[in-house]
A and B are shown apart, each in its own frame.
Chain A
């Protein structure tokens, strides 16, 4: 069995420097469309191309509601005038109300993950947090199978009818104080499944949500950011509301 010890040591350190420093590796994030100036004559066509209504117009600029983006790339691929694209990943935003845990929770948080109808991608990205590249343990985040031990409920998926009861039971079984993180466009808004007669329009229709992480799926770094936001160790992205949308400058 010594081969495994040697193999492990030879591999060296793979772990990202985030959150101390920015992660610059290629392919760590699918990115998001960017708000900004857009030719006035083409805004209507851009809005029509987007299947989930991410874009809106204000004073000749486009406004982007990132919560709704499902990464279909219809706004950048196969078009003559693509929108701007940002390769960011700090996407965790805060819903109304108090969200910080306070000092006692800063170093050790137990997270319970509930799949409420997810397509497998969000869940796979949550799973990546345990691999050496992200290693969430170093930041004091631990996955627990029991709601009795959990501080944070991390939900993926739009909440299907069959899962609603189980999700409520998990939430009720958690001790207070507790926080809910909705991970992925489906959990945030229902995504492409919002219209389905057996799906809710996201977790907020069932439980009080504290932190939202958009993306379809959000990359592991975005989920990590969401967790750091929930415990008050990172500032959230600018707040969003479905009516006005989120604006992020190109410099961010």
Chain B
């Protein structure tokens, strides 16, 4: 469906209730709609017209609420932002969860942080602000909330109990975390069981919530870039890039060709390194010691390649709005490419060895199964979605930074089990090196940074981060300061769908399913 068809369809179906406006600069169609039409319009986009849900962005303007539901389709379908507006006194909105299950956590978050109510949402409450530690009335993302005022923190309530769902005789909850196992991110799992199998799994997240979105308000673009790079640093470059692209769209800036190509090169180097890390985690979770060591060597090799090329092992301090903070000599890029090709060769050897290790395959095959229809409903992203046959990659669907000029494949599998996810990781690593090869030969001459003229406006930046699509919404005021910053990281969607993989499997498979999902808590918790 292209935009003209979309406009005709929308205006014919909801006459007087929905107006379309095209914005050619940001490839976006803004549909302002009445409350009554919201749920049905979102349902059509998501369920019938094959749009993916990118996120709900709540903005509190001086006089009104503005709720923005972002959807994107393949290429010419572009972006559709569904907007509803309401006076500030209005606090209740219709829920779209019944049709767009992917919006579930977005509405819970808006309820928790803005105090909005969503009519028809099955489960609001205890989410980002844990009920056992926060007063109900605190709404930290509201304008009137002063983040610099002294906060009175309640001591966690020891008598607080999570909601239990399984009510069979003998059912109990196995709590895991937030501190568990060796070197792991902090997250709490409530695994409900009657014995051997996990019947229901509820991750309790946001132990690491740092309030990045509130922290960003009132800061300059340069200061917020520091936060964008540092809130989830294993994929720092991807998130920094999404933020820079949002700012560049607001300013109407085009970045120099050399900067665009270098951005692609570094983004793919990061993907390669992150995938090697994910593969190492999978080997570790299956206790295959030599493979674990081999993958660990390759991850460290790639960290060192990144460090040698850019000075920082996680690619900090490379990006700037308008291009790159510093140039990289083409020779250095070619050297990094040659080293990465060596690593890829060894990754391929590792994959061949893993594919014939029966004890390893036994633990991955038909474990942590996610069906395509569930992946669709939950709007899963990245390698996890592509392993279940949901093939949508932002580098293809809505190209940025010149990705349309690169020749690469989007690997996918159909099985949706742990092994399929592992194969997708290996295949994507190969594609990353393929893109790096093209980028290294295509490197243009010239500067890497154009000065920006910051002005008022708002825009969405998006990238295909190693773990999936990342969306950054930025609004600037006239002085170029950030007034609203909203991050929708890929792990947010994938954590939402993680319970699909775990349920009806035995406890001993739990760490394996966790590792094959390659989830980042830091990304999710923001």
Contact = CB atoms under 8 A, between A and B. Distances in A.
Contacts of B208: 115-118, 157, 160, 162-163
A26 B296 contact: no
Nearest to B273: A124
Interface of A is mostly: loop
A71 B312 contact: yes
B207 A163 contact: yes
A112 B211 CA distance: 26
- A interface bracket (residues with beta carbon within 8 Å of B): 35 or more
A145 B184 CA distance: 10
Nearest to B229: A72
Contacts of A70: 226, 230, 316
B77 to A, nearest CB: 33
Contact of A5 (B130, B184, B231, B290): B290
B522 interface: yes
Contacts, number: 207
A217 B356 CA distance: 37
Given A31-B311, A128-B299, A8 B325 contact: no
Nearest to A193: B210
A109 B230 CA distance: 31
B140 interface: yes
B320 A27 contact: no
Given A30-B307, A73-B326, A197-B140, A133 B297 contact: yes
A120 interface: yes
A36 to B, nearest CB: 19
B183 interface: yes
A119 interface: yes
Contact of A193 (B184, B215, B312, B356): B215
Contact of A219 (B291, B313, B316): B313
Given A27-B308, A197-B140, A160 B316 contact: no
B87 interface: no
A78 B520 CA distance: 32
B8 interface: no
A119 B230 contact: yes
A116 B186 contact: yes
Contact of B300 (A131, A143, A158): A131
B230 A77 contact: no
A113 interface: yes
Contacts of B209: 160, 162, 198
A11 B297 contact: yes
B347 interface: no
A163 B178 contact: yes
Interface in B171-207: 178-186, 206-207
B304 interface: yes
A1 interface: yes
Interface in B293-311: 293-294, 296-297, 299-300, 303-309, 311
Contacts of B155: 165
A26 B304 contact: yes
A141 to B, nearest CB: 12
Nearest to A31: B311
Contacts of A72: 226, 316-317
Interface of B: 130, 133, 140, 147-149, 151, 153, 155-156, 178-186, 206-212, 214-215, 222-223, 226-227, 230-234, 236, 277, 280, 288-291, 293-294, 296-297, 299-300, 303-309, 311-314, 316-317, 320, 325-326, 353, 356-357, 359, 449, 520-523, 525
16 contacts: A11-B293, A27-B306, A27-B313, A51-B222, A51-B226, A116-B186, A117-B207, A123-B184, A124-B277, A131-B297, A132-B293, A133-B300, A143-B182, A163-B178, A195-B215, A196-B211
Given A120-B234, A130-B183, A217-B313, 15 more contacts: A26-B304, A26-B308, A28-B307, A29-B307, A71-B316, A77-B317, A119-B232, A121-B234, A123-B183, A145-B180, A145-B181, A157-B208, A161-B151, A163-B207, A166-B178
